Structure 1
Amino acid sequence: MAWLILASSLATLTTHRLVSLLLLLISVITAAITGVISWPALLLLTFIAATAFIRIRYHDKLFLKITCEIVLVICAIGLFIHIFPGFNNLKYLNKAIVGEQSAPFTMYFNFDKALVPFVLLACLPTLFISSPAKTASSLQWCLLFLSVPVLLIIATLAGGLGFELHLPTWLPAFILCNLLFVSLAEEALFRGYLQQRLNQWLGSPYLALILTALLFGGLHFAGGPLLILFATLAGLIYGLAWMWSGKLWLAVSIHFGLNLSHLLFFTYPVKMVVGQ
């Protein structure tokens, strides 16, 4: 139940903020009662809420504003990479085999990572909607959307993936988890916050785009050089979507669309190594 309430909170965060925050509070209480989070996580969330309140309440005091933002970003990164204790994330799939050519796949419902958009929104009110850093023509948008299947096909030709159709029984759970607990959290951190802040600091939308994509690719180091390369290219696609629109949900939708297409039409998460 806590996961569904949290998902509803995330889904309404852009359009109905007070409702979203109320749902977030209910989801935290439900998670505490059901053992999804324990007292160290509750202490952390209380600290984050207090810091966010100070950041918003005293936004006119520069030193306090900057200090609180730094603390909140550190907390968001910690939640993102699961370093804080007290979160008992649900392992929904354990080494599931999607298809004959696919490697085993494990999927978690991560309560901590899903909180990242809330934390970053307290740092940057324009996290979800901002002025486009650049504009693009209809042709450029068409090429951007076309680049999603092209990237997956190139990854297949490079040997990292293989063509394989899937329609797993757990597809609805994957959609919920990947859209709201994975894609939204990753795009909030990398495009909504980091790329936007780098653009403000550096005054160069393209430099901000490249640096953010490189960091996003580097996050996938555990998958090896090929995954780093393709994650970086995917980061450029998501970053362009944000840069041209200023809308975080568009970048999230493209990110999720790539992940869903990957699951439905290609080996997932990667192609099984022969002899493995």
Structure 2
Amino acid sequence: MWYLLAASLFFLPFRLRISLGLLVVSLIVAVLNHTLQPVALLVLVVMAVVAFFCFRRKESDVLAKVGEGLLVLSAGALMLHLVPGFTNLIVVAGAQAGPESAPFTFNYNLDKALVPFLLLGCLPGLLKRPATPPRNRLWWLILLLSLPLLLLIATLAGGLRVELHYPEWLGSFMLANLFFVSFAEEALFRGWLQQRLSQRVGNGWGLLAASVLFGLAHAAGGVMLICFATVAGLIYGLAWLWSGRVWVSTLVHFAFNMLHLLFFTYPLWQHPPG
């Protein structure tokens, strides 16, 4: 089921009909193996009806705007795992990537993975918009080099330490992080939020506001994590702005997470007692 779901997300930016077909099959399997309970299925049917209604109406239509608000709230609820009836698969529980890394848990999240589909219903241009490329392509190289630089700064600030990893669950982590985490978050924060803000206050302010909100979404990790997540949001936001493609910012987001996992304590440095 999880591979079918990942495949449906892979095709979403390029082949919508194939993507939706794979999504339907994924959800049928999810019902059969009890990953998706009846209450969650009912909620998803209602969300799908609203998404289809919004997709067929003009964005300026009042009812379409109401529908968009409902879909965004629904996407937020799915992102935060507030919708009952999802039994997400725990892949790793309380594991350490290395001896100095803090224990962490990650899941295959069906609810979070559905966020891009919902948001596409209220914003057909969610995954593809006119690009605003930098004048010099060298800026792309600088943007990519800023990924390891940010992690090194976090190390100097005491949040991380250099620690090489190649855990046995690396493949599962890559699948989950690329499709069920990075893509979902980029669809919400860049594809929808930054795009809508940019339409109202311009690209610069839209980039800044979306990045700050992305940072605040990591408030549970403390002030330092908020600051670094905000800067990371600026990097992802520029990748989205320059390319006009959510899949590009998703790959940048995924690359940052992989650099973090492979070369630094993940998700944080576990300070020795005392």
Asked if 1:226 corresponds to 2:224, the answer is: yes
Report the Cα distance in structure 2 between the residues aligned to 1:146 and 1:53, rounded to whole angstroms.
41
**Which position in structure 1 is the counterpart of 2:260?**
262
Superposition pairs of residues 131-210 of structure 1, within 5 angstroms = 131-133=130-132, 135-202=134-201, 204-210=202-208
**Which position in structure 2 is the counterpart of 1:90?**
89
**Which position in structure 2 is the counterpart of 1:54?**
53
- Normalising by structure 1, we get a TM-score of 0.97
Distance 1:136 1:180, change over 3 A: farther
Asked if 1:246 corresponds to 2:244, the answer is: yes
- Asked if 1 retains the 8 angstrom alpha-carbon contact of 2:55 and 2:124, the reply is no
Report the Cα distance in structure 2 between the residues aligned to 1:229 and 1:61, rounded to whole angstroms.
36
Secondary structure of the residue that 1:162 maps to in structure 2? Answer: coil
Report the Cα distance in structure 1 between the residues aligned to 2:122 and 2:135, rounded to whole angstroms.
28
Unpaired runs of 5+ in structure 2? none
Secondary structure of the residue that 1:269 maps to in structure 2? Answer: coil
- Normalising by structure 2, we get a TM-score of 0.97
Distance 1:153 1:60, change over 3 A: closer
Count matched residues. 274
The structure 1 segments of at least 4 consecutive aligned residues displaced by more than 6 Å after TM superposition are none
Unpaired runs of 5+ in structure 1? none
Shift, 1:133, TM fit: 4.0
Report the Cα distance in structure 1 between the residues aligned to 2:189 and 2:9, rounded to whole angstroms.
17
1:19-42 per-position Cα deviation (integer Å, ceiling 9, x unaligned): 110110111111011010101110
Task: Give the aligned residue type for 1:75.
Answer: S
Task: Give the aligned residue type for 1:262.
Answer: H
Report the Cα distance in structure 1 between the residues aligned to 2:60 and 2:193, rounded to whole angstroms.
22
**Which position in structure 1 is the counterpart of 2:74?**
75
Asked if 1:21 corresponds to 2:37, the answer is: no
Report the Cα distance in structure 2 between the residues aligned to 1:235 and 1:132, rounded to whole angstroms.
18
**Which position in structure 2 is the counterpart of 1:211?**
209
Distance 1:99 1:61, change over 3 A: closer
Report the Cα distance in structure 1 between the residues aligned to 2:219 and 2:57, rounded to whole angstroms.
39
